[in-house]
Amino acid sequence: AQKVTQVQTEISVVEKEDVTLDCVYETRDTTYYLFWYKQPPSGELVFLIRRNSFDEQNEISGRYSWNFQKSTSSFNFTITASQVVDSAVYFCALSAYTGGGNKLTFGTGTQLKVEL
């Protein structure tokens, strides 16, 4: 069975602070994919990133960066110089490609509040 754990239920920061959202996963699959999605107050999930299990290179996209460590089964997400517009619920998700599709297993989400 797959499981995704986001231990931080809610994080509050002041604008321009850096913030890291933790994600730990469990899976028995050898090939899998990890995702981060953003859910702003409007409710619609926005895709942020997908990583393959065999590619542990960290990735940076503007103020966003992701640290994938297979040894600790973690896929953490850092926002540098946070902004009020970053306020949202962030979900980490896992899927295994078994030939039957890639249904996602989601964590319970981390509510990020960025204040002025």
Asked if residue 66 binds other proteins (CB under 8 A), the reply is no
- Distance CA(37)–CA(78), nearest Å, equals 13
Asked if residue 109 binds other proteins (CB under 8 A), the reply is yes
Asked if residue 50 binds other proteins (CB under 8 A), the reply is yes
Asked if residue 8 binds other proteins (CB under 8 A), the reply is no
Q: CB of 54: closest distance to other proteins in angstroms?
A: 14
Asked if residue 45 binds other proteins (CB under 8 A), the reply is yes
In the complex with other proteins, the residue whose CB is nearer, 42 or 71, is 42
Asked if residue 101 binds other proteins (CB under 8 A), the reply is yes
In the complex with other proteins, the residue whose CB is nearer, 11 or 80, is 11
Task: Choose among 35, 13, 1, 2: nearest CA to 109.
Answer: 35
Q: Would you state the structure tokens that stand for residue 94, as one six-digit string?
A: 């896992």
Q: How many C-alpha atoms does 26 have within 13 Å on its Cβ side? A: 5
- Distance CA(116)–CA(6), nearest Å, equals 25
Query: Using CB atoms within 10 A of its CB, is residue 93 exposed (0-12), middle (13-18) or buried (19+)?
Result: buried
Q: CB of 49: closest distance to other proteins in angstroms?
A: 9
- Other CB atoms within a 10 A radius of the CB of residue 77 amount to 22
Which residues sit at the interface with other proteins, rule CB under 8 A?
4, 33, 35, 37, 42-45, 47, 50, 91, 93, 95, 97, 100-109
